[in-house]
Amino acid sequence: MKIAYKSREVERFTIGVTVLTAIVTASTFVLLYGFEEVRFFAVRTLHIVQVAAFLAFLSEKLIRFVNSESKKEFFFANWFEIPLLLTLMVILFWAERWFVDGGAAIMGALGVYLVVQVVIKACRNCVQFAASGGNATMALISVFVILIMTGTGMLMLPRSHNLERMSFVDALFTSTSATCVTGLVVKDTGSDFTMMGQIVILALIQLGGLGIVIFGAVIALLLGQALSVRESVAMRDLLSAQTLGRISQMIAFIIIFTMFVEALGAVSLLSMWDDVPGVVEFGHERWFQSIFHSISAFCNAGFGLFDDSLVRYRDSLGVYTVIAPLIILGGFGFGVIYNLFQVFWDRLKRCFRKRLQPEALFDFAPPVRVRLQTKIVLSMSLILIVGGALAIMTLEHYSPKPDHDSRFKIALFQSITARTAGFNTVDIPGLSDANKLVLMALMFVGGSPGSSAGGIKTVTLTVLIMIVYATLRRRPQVEVFRRRVSPTVAGRAITVTVLFVAILLFTTLLLYITERNSGFGLVDIMFEAASALGTVGLTTGVTPTLTTAGKLIIIAVMLIGRLGPLTLLAAITFNLKPGVYEYPAEPVIVG
């Protein structure tokens, strides 16, 4: 919601003071909770700064209220401030009676208020930044970079890790891997990071998987604020939606569906930890393990809290009935899931209406149909999952290594996770080169558009196959499920694939130079490059041994894989104007 103010100078000054206050507030929390002991400032001094920040936020609201042209619009945009302030006042006056340590309770409540203020302001600014009217792709890249750098700083805090020192490059690598939902690690997540560090990684996975801009829109909708036209357009582009009409409903569906699926996954995983006794013993550890792996699986991140991923749980039912479905759902993309939900809900309503309202039999309104995008994603995902599993099982069965495991369920899970997530139930370095090539092919394809998965995407592969089919059949147009695909989409599919191949080969050559003394072969190095570019997270053992130059290369490739080469190309060529002329045509021979 865009609020008009009387004086722009006053509003700009208020914004500057608010940004400075938010930065100072965040710094106080870092000093209070990021270090074992506060060395530079006394705790009392930091609490005084937080009280001053509270007064600054309060003054900001009063100034903006006076400066706003419509007091009613301002009130509706900031109605949540009233219950927050009332709750804070109640705790302030009754803390001594309700709590043993009244001062600590007051500062705790004040801290919660300040965190809410900073989070809401950050989310709002992300949405407004994405809808600023400039280069939207550059805005998206900037948001990712800011999130990565913030995560890097938090992971370097002493309370975030169990190491003597966390280097900047290692923290940057971990933050990028989590934000880009890749799963490649140079430090063991379960042992090298504390609970605080693991929570930071989990937050980066959730924000990076769904998109912090979408979270900003969710915050705005939860606070009862309607999105402006520009903000709705930005959300449509991020979600790959087709219309603006139901952007708010789609965003609400995304957050509700995500919370429901991740919660259901966490509850379903609780009993799985009993399959390997002595690994996860206490109740709070079980819950954290379940929540962490559920979010990591649904966001297709592949981060785990065990040093062998899920190898020790390879025979557990939960891996195949909980984690695998979470990975598949997360790889579909929210546009596909939302379309399936619309179709299901429409048919359910029609069924009940026909039973309860006989006159509804004469309702000739067209039913909600399954879109072409949904058909392509579902069919190609099924082909890749089953085909990949059969290939892995067959190649491993005829592998010359005596310790192979060619069971179908093992191959099926590896086929599912290789395209999107990065969990593994087999020893990846021990696989044959043929199976590594199969996994590289699956990682190259990746998930589906609108999801957190990388790769060229399932729809791109389908369009490429149908282009070849149309050429062989001498069809003038590319057709899929009796629908015509526009030449623009076909050209985009070819462009994405060529860029991915070029980046993969170039990255492999760079890593072959930087890791020339590592002892790994070309297949292993290309596997690592494909895993980073596809944001998968599988490794043949190259990642923990990477040089500093190699880590920086993988960091860049993970970011490219998460955003997509086409997104980066659009950001670079944003100001280029299309040509308004055509050259004469002349035939050339191809093939």
Whether the per-residue pLDDT at 27 is higher than 90: the answer is: no
> Is 12 among the domain residues?
yes
Q: What is the pLDDT, as a whole number, of residue 238?
A: 54
Q: What is the pLDDT, as a whole number, of residue 360?
A: 57
pLDDT bin (cut points 50, 70, 90) of residue 568 is: low
The two structure tokens encoding residue 412: 């099926």
> Is 395 among the domain residues?
no
394, 432 Cβ separation under 8 angstroms:
no
> Is 27 among the domain residues?
yes
Domain residue limits at 88 = 1-130
Query: How much is the pTM?
Result: 0.84
* Radius of gyration for the alpha carbons in the chain, expressed in angstroms and rounded: 26
The two structure tokens encoding residue 386: 């089953």
pLDDT bin (cut points 50, 70, 90) of residue 570 is: low
| Run of H or E residues at 485 | strand 483-485
Q: What does the pLDDT average to over 199-216?
A: 78
pLDDT bin (cut points 50, 70, 90) of residue 39 is: low
Return the DSSP state at 323. I
pLDDT bin (cut points 50, 70, 90) of residue 364 is: low
Q: What is the pLDDT, as a whole number, of residue 414?
A: 92
> Is 102 among the domain residues?
yes
pLDDT tens digit string along 164-179? Answer: 888 999 999 999 999 9
According to the 3-state scheme, what is the secondary structure of 87-125? HHHHHHHHHHHHCCCHHHHHHHHHHHHHHHHHHHHHHHH
pLDDT bin (cut points 50, 70, 90) of residue 133 is: low
Q: What does the pLDDT average to over 498-516?
A: 92
Q: What is the pLDDT, as a whole number, of residue 131?
A: 56
Residue with tokens 């909708």: 221
> Is 217 among the domain residues?
no
119, 556 Cβ separation under 8 angstroms:
no
User: Helix and strand tally (H, E) in the chain?
Assistant: 24, 2
Residue 79's Cα: distance from chain center in Å?
Answer: 30
Higher pLDDT, 576 or 48: 48
CA distance 106 to 558: 43
**Torsion, Cα of 259, 303, 384, 492 (10° steps):** 80
pLDDT bin (cut points 50, 70, 90) of residue 46 is: confident
Q: What does the pLDDT average to over 125-141?
A: 62
> Is 522 among the domain residues?
no
Whether the per-residue pLDDT at 232 is higher than 60: the answer is: no
Whether the per-residue pLDDT at 14 is higher than 90: the answer is: no
445, 461 Cβ separation under 8 angstroms:
yes
**Structural domains counted in the chain:** 1
- In a 13 Å sphere around the CA of 345, the CA atoms on its Cβ side amount to 7
Residue 261 makes CB contacts below 8 A (sequence gap 6+) with 298, 326, 329
Residue with tokens 């087999």: 426
Q: What is the pLDDT, as a whole number, of residue 216?
A: 53
> Is 108 among the domain residues?
yes
Residue with tokens 């062998």: 308
Q: What is the pLDDT, as a whole number, of residue 571?
A: 58
CA distance 391 to 383: 12
> Is 372 among the domain residues?
no
Own/partner pairs, 547-553, CB within 8 angstroms, 24+ separation: 547/514, 547/515, 547/518, 548/169, 549/514, 550/511, 550/514, 550/515, 551/169, 551/170, 551/173, 551/186, 552/169, 553/507, 553/510, 553/511, 553/514
Q: What is the pLDDT, as a whole number, of residue 577?
A: 67
140, 213 Cβ separation under 8 angstroms:
yes
Q: What does the pLDDT average to over 34-45?
A: 72
Q: What does the pLDDT average to over 221-249?
A: 54
Higher pLDDT, 167 or 129: 167
pLDDT tens digit string along 332-346? Answer: 888 888 889 888 888
Give the range among 241-255, 419-433, 457-471 with minimum mean pLDDT: 241-255
Q: What is the mean pLDDT of the chain?
A: 82
Give the range among 236-245, 461-470, 572-581 with minimum mean pLDDT: 236-245
Question: Which range, 6-15, 359-368, 421-430, is most confident?
Answer: 421-430
φ, ψ of residue 146 in degrees (nearest 5):
-60, -40
pLDDT bin (cut points 50, 70, 90) of residue 391 is: very high
546, 554 Cβ separation under 8 angstroms:
yes
φ, ψ of residue 484 in degrees (nearest 5):
-85, 135
According to the 3-state scheme, what is the secondary structure of 229-258? HHHHHHHHHHHCCCCCCCHHHHHHHHHHHH
Residue 476 makes CB contacts below 8 A (sequence gap 6+) with 470
